[in-house]
Structure 1
């Protein structure tokens, strides 16, 4: 008995370990089977009355048949409505319905008064459905229940009425058929479950890859636009920023609008983006749409100047064909490429100038020291001459006094050359920008307090946006601009002052350094940021050049705005936004 017990326990464990359909699939199949039950019950009810009329019998179906069928129709309708409305404990509802099917079919067989093959075959559907919708242990119980009723109807009922064993083989064959159908249905259900799991796993993987792709596209420095059938279907944050499109707060959810519930919102935002693009960048949109399918094109696009901001630049546009006549448009900011080239140029220039500057400093230090010693000698001679009344020494002093101004000139010029060398060494020591997030509204007051306390430097901050910049290099840029402003403003007015205005235009943060000086002449504009160009005799001509190099190293721009009513140097840096949209 022990081996049989072990086999039975092993089978039970195996059946308990089986997988079942996921709830959405179970609900769908359950609704189909509940509808099938209701249709079959109504069909049975109609067929009983139709058969009674065709037999020309005045007798109605038996009371038991009417009661069973009425009860079956009513319960079938209740179970269908309950399964449709209530989504909890679906397997219990299905198990109750399947047991009901077996009981009703058995009662119908009993009321028929003789074995009915058609009714017996309906057991097959119940057995198959139980193995597909329920756990194997529950399905096995329902199958055994069906076998018991069939054997009773075809075997024991035959013995009780005619004492004939002729239907024994039919009953056993039918029972074996139930088990075979159950095993096949269970096998099919397990295959279906595995397929559902694989499909769900693939769907999750596709969704995960989609999220990763969305994140990668969103974080790209280059702008990405996808055009399908003359319609924009994707545009990332960089595309909005590079094209200076007005920021739409609702667009920050576009990157997550990847399911059907958010599809309408996504389409609306993309349509809004295309409309803005057609208004502000008509030339670019026409060029992208006019490229024939299957062809590639690359060109440079000049961004239109924006009023009050002087924001202008160039983009490299690369159009690549995709499948199904779609087009991939890549927007690359040439400022970054220019900044990289500038970094290479500064690096090579720095190596040369550093060696030259060190060689110049040695003789320069000797000249400076000699001029200081000569001035000290003049000071001693001045003291001796004041203490002596010798006419001869006085005439000698007067001869040498003329040289004192020459010595002072030599010393001042050596100091100027030394400042130039210091600036050149700063240029040669320039390292890669260590960019940090800077909240200008908090950083600028501290900066002015540290470097320009006591000077009339007025700060006006109109934005809370953040920029990414090397703090040391930003300090050097602003120190140069403010010192230049204070110096040139003092030439035109007795009261020197500088105003610093910070505001935002589209996706750029603007820092204006304003002063009341006479400004830059038109003929000097083209040389303004060249090295060693200066309009001030005391200047070295490297301040603006270094400031522009620092800005370009941080993907920002420094320019002079001649249209402004005051002398205006403008620093334009891209804003750092946490909003992400695709």
Structure 2
């Protein structure tokens, strides 16, 4: 008893599972079956009249047969139109239509009087469709309804014809066939549903991986371009930035007048790629031709010099690597050589720092002794001059001369000590701890802290964000501003420094300007070399350290001889955030410190 109850419970649970086709598949198959119903009903009605005339019979089909078929054609047309227009309660519409099919076929079977092979085949189609389109319980009800109608009609016919058990046996065999076809159709539909779920899950996973890949490619520092059959099919944001090609999401193709709703995203993407290829052919024709000239299946790596008129003042060269893909397509990887130069600079500083640190510590010990001895000698001379009031003029002259010599020794020891401190700073340089810096907020605070009381004018023409180590940026700007104030004071009585911040392509430009005499042409090749200086009080490590700090943060420090003023230019990549850059042209001074 318990096993039978469990069996019934399992069957009930199995029949009520929601393992049915998706709504899109259900609608498509439902439209096909509704069209099939209308065609079959119309064909049956026509065949009845054609058969009656072919038999040369003067009598028309029975009134019940005519009425059933006419009603069937009308309802089939209504159900087809209703299913096509109304997208809700599709399974209820299908269940009603399948129940109608069973009733009409039973009436036709009753008018035939005996089992008919054609009607039997139509029953099989209805049963199979019910298990394909409906829930298991609904399909089972449709099948049982068909069995009941068939058995009842044949049982009634058998009684009226003196119990012809042969027809009743045929009806029972037909009913068993219904159940077998229904079971097979239901099993097949479940397999199709499972396959559809697996396919949908795989499609979602592929789409998810596609989105992840697109995001990874978009956020890559290196530029990525894919060329297929001389057409660009992929170009990330870094490629636009490195080649100085504007990335305009709203650009459209010249020959596209309107976008289809379903394909609008693909059309916009194709339009952006079309615009990118046009700009690439215009600004970098040499690069594009070099990529196309590489034979299929071959790889190549070369250095590309950016042409004048792009962002050559920001970037000097790009490394281009061409990798062959399948179907004669090519992958282009564009790499900014600034990062490689920064890495090389870090290695050079690390090796130099190990040597200079040990030497600096060894020099500091005797230097401290010399400095202390010179101070003691100066104190001794001062005390002897104070105690002796009867010294001769010659003795006074000797003491004064010795004091000047001691003072010279002491000042030179301080200068050497400054050099050692700069060298130790160089040796202690660590990996840059980059942070996002909003210059409009950071610069005024920096100038307030370090240059209050000096004439330093800040002019902001944009509102950019850069990624830089804040301590290293402070050291760079302090050195450049101090140099500007010192050298401009040599040329003018009123020393001042101007700071201009603006954007060029995808980089932030910080110009440090002063009114000094500038750098001589013969000194330009040695300007950023260590220990090179034109100031007698300088150590020659300030600009070298500043350039090293910039390269450690993927930035550049340049001297611009073409500028009308003495101009040192710091170039750093802009950090793109959700807040768009506000291009505020403001030529007035933002502050005087």
User: Does TM, normalized by the shorter one, top 0.5?
Assistant: yes
Report the equivalent of 1:341. Answer: 344
Report the equivalent of 1:404. Answer: 403
Normalised by the size of structure 1, how large is the TM-score?
A: 0.94
Q: Give the Cα–Cα distance (whole angstroms) in 1 for the partners of residues 74 and 28 of structure 2.
A: 22
Report the equivalent of 1:426. Answer: 425
Q: Give the Cα–Cα distance (whole angstroms) in 2 for the partners of residues 81 and 132 of structure 1.
A: 21
On the 8 A contact 2:507/2:573 being kept in 1, the answer is: yes
Which consecutive unaligned segments of at least 5 residues does structure 2 have?
Answer: 252-261, 580-593
- Report deviation, 1:561: 0.7
Q: Give the Cα–Cα distance (whole angstroms) in 2 for the partners of residues 394 and 417 of structure 1.
A: 35
Q: Give the Cα–Cα distance (whole angstroms) in 2 for the partners of residues 505 and 349 of structure 1.
A: 34
Work out which of the residue numbers 320, 326, 334 in structure 2 matches 1:331: 334
SS in 2 for 1:486: helix
- Report deviation, 1:241: 2.0
Q: Give the Cα–Cα distance (whole angstroms) in 2 for the partners of residues 330 and 307 of structure 1.
A: 19
- Report deviation, 1:205: 1.1
Report the equivalent of 1:51. Answer: 51
Q: Give the Cα–Cα distance (whole angstroms) in 2 for the partners of residues 340 and 308 of structure 1.
A: 22
Provide closer, same or farther for how the CA distance between residues 47 and 571 of structure 1 changes in structure 2, counting only shifts above 3 A: same
Deviations 1:287-312 (A, max 9, x none): 11111111111101112344798223
Q: Give the Cα–Cα distance (whole angstroms) in 1 for the partners of residues 413 and 561 of structure 2.
A: 35
Verify: 1:355 aligned to 2:370, yes or no. Answer: no
SS in 2 for 1:166: helix
Q: Give the Cα–Cα distance (whole angstroms) in 2 for the partners of residues 338 and 11 of structure 1.
A: 73
On the 8 A contact 2:510/2:571 being kept in 1, the answer is: yes
Verify: 1:188 aligned to 2:188, yes or no. Answer: yes
Provide closer, same or farther for how the CA distance between residues 307 and 268 of structure 1 changes in structure 2, counting only shifts above 3 A: closer
Report the equivalent of 1:454. Answer: 453
Provide the aligned length of Structure 1 versus Structure 2: 569
- Report deviation, 1:155: 3.0
Q: Give the Cα–Cα distance (whole angstroms) in 2 for the partners of residues 246 and 10 of structure 1.
A: 64
SS in 2 for 1:84: helix
Deviations 1:487-516 (A, max 9, x none): 111111111111111111111011110111
Report the equivalent of 2:534. Answer: 535
Q: Give the Cα–Cα distance (whole angstroms) in 2 for the partners of residues 508 and 146 of structure 1.
A: 78
On the 8 A contact 1:381/1:397 being kept in 2, the answer is: no
- Report deviation, 1:6: 4.7
Verify: 1:313 aligned to 2:321, yes or no. Answer: no
SS in 2 for 1:209: helix
Report the equivalent of 1:365. Answer: 368
1:409-558 matches, within 5 Å, as: 409-558=408-557
Worse-matched range after superposition: 426-435 or 358-367: 358-367
Report the equivalent of 2:89. Answer: 89
Q: Give the Cα–Cα distance (whole angstroms) in 1 for the partners of residues 218 and 310 of structure 2.
A: 28
Worse-matched range after superposition: 122-131 or 16-25: 16-25
Verify: 1:154 aligned to 2:157, yes or no. Answer: no
Report the equivalent of 2:222. Answer: 222
On the 8 A contact 1:120/1:150 being kept in 2, the answer is: no
SS in 1 for 2:569: strand
Report the equivalent of 1:198. Answer: 198
SS in 2 for 1:56: coil
Q: Give the Cα–Cα distance (whole angstroms) in 2 for the partners of residues 558 and 349 of structure 1.
A: 21
On the 8 A contact 2:323/2:330 being kept in 1, the answer is: yes
Report the equivalent of 2:163. Answer: 163
- Report deviation, 1:219: 2.2
On the 8 A contact 2:250/2:268 being kept in 1, the answer is: no
Provide closer, same or farther for how the CA distance between residues 221 and 6 of structure 1 changes in structure 2, counting only shifts above 3 A: closer
Report the equivalent of 2:178. Answer: 178
- Report deviation, 1:3: 5.6
- Report deviation, 1:377: 2.3
- Report deviation, 1:59: 3.7
- Report deviation, 1:367: 1.4
On the 8 A contact 1:456/1:496 being kept in 2, the answer is: yes
Q: Give the Cα–Cα distance (whole angstroms) in 2 for the partners of residues 212 and 123 of structure 1.
A: 51
SS in 1 for 2:574: strand
Deviations 1:52-102 (A, max 9, x none): 332334443333223222221221112112212222221111111100110
Q: Give the Cα–Cα distance (whole angstroms) in 1 for the partners of residues 247 and 550 of structure 2.
A: 24
On the 8 A contact 2:115/2:167 being kept in 1, the answer is: no
Report the equivalent of 1:303. Answer: 306
On the 8 A contact 2:301/2:321 being kept in 1, the answer is: yes
Alpha carbon RMSD of aligned pairs, Å? Answer: 1.9
Q: Give the Cα–Cα distance (whole angstroms) in 1 for the partners of residues 513 and 93 of structure 2.
A: 79
Q: Give the Cα–Cα distance (whole angstroms) in 2 for the partners of residues 428 and 273 of structure 1.
A: 45
SS in 1 for 2:537: coil
Worse-matched range after superposition: 327-336 or 214-223: 214-223
Q: Give the Cα–Cα distance (whole angstroms) in 1 for the partners of residues 310 and 559 of structure 2.
A: 14
On the 8 A contact 2:115/2:170 being kept in 1, the answer is: no
On the 8 A contact 2:114/2:167 being kept in 1, the answer is: no
Worse-matched range after superposition: 214-223 or 131-140: 214-223
SS in 2 for 1:360: helix
SS in 2 for 1:576: coil
Report the equivalent of 2:582. Answer: none
- Report deviation, 1:4: 4.8
Q: Give the Cα–Cα distance (whole angstroms) in 2 for the partners of residues 416 and 207 of structure 1.
A: 66
Normalised by the size of structure 2, how large is the TM-score?
A: 0.92
Deviations 1:557-582 (A, max 9, x none): 000111111111111111111379xx
Report the equivalent of 1:255. Answer: none
On the 8 A contact 1:318/1:331 being kept in 2, the answer is: yes
Q: Give the Cα–Cα distance (whole angstroms) in 2 for the partners of residues 438 and 272 of structure 1.
A: 33
Q: Give the Cα–Cα distance (whole angstroms) in 2 for the partners of residues 33 and 491 of structure 1.
A: 96
On the 8 A contact 1:294/1:325 being kept in 2, the answer is: yes
Higher relative contact order (CA 8 A, sep 6+): 1
Report the equivalent of 2:590. Answer: none
